[in-house]
A and B are shown apart, each in its own frame.
Chain A
Amino acid sequence: QQQVKQSPQSLIVQKGGISIINCAYENTAFDYFPWYQQFPGKGPALLIAIRPDVSEKKEGRFTISFNKSAKQFSLHIMDSQPGDSATYFCAASMRSGGGADGLTFGKGTHLIIQP
Chain B
Amino acid sequence: ETGVTQSPTHLIKTRGQQVTLRCSSQSGHNTVSWYQQALGQGPQFIFQYYREEENGRGNFPPRFSGLQFPNYSSELNVNALELDDSALYLCASSPATGGANYGYTFGSGTRLTVV
Contacts and interface: CB of A to CB of B under 8 A. Distances in A.
Interface of A: 4, 6, 32, 34, 36, 41-46, 49, 89, 91, 93, 95, 97-108
Contact of B4 (A6, A43, A104, A108): A43
B101 interface: yes
A24 B51 CA distance: 34
A97 B103 contact: no
Contacts of A91: 42
Contacts of B92: 43
Contacts of B41: 107-108
Interface residues on chain B, size class: 20 to 34
Contacts of A98: 56, 97-98, 101
Interface string B39-55: 01111110110100001
B113 to A, nearest CB: 15
Contact of A44 (B43, B45, B99): B43
Contacts of A49: 103
A22 B105 CA distance: 24
Contacts of A99: 48, 56, 94, 96-102
B98 A100 contact: yes
A91 B98 CA distance: 15
B94 to A, nearest CB: 8
A89 B42 CA distance: 7
Contacts of A89: 42-43
A42 B104 contact: no
Contacts of A95: 98, 101
Closest 8 CB pairs of A and B: A102-B45, A99-B98, A100-B56, A43-B106, A105-B42, A93-B100, A99-B100, A99-B101
A43 B101 contact: no
A102 B97 CA distance: 10
A107 B40 CA distance: 7
B41 to A, nearest CB: 6
A103 B103 contact: no
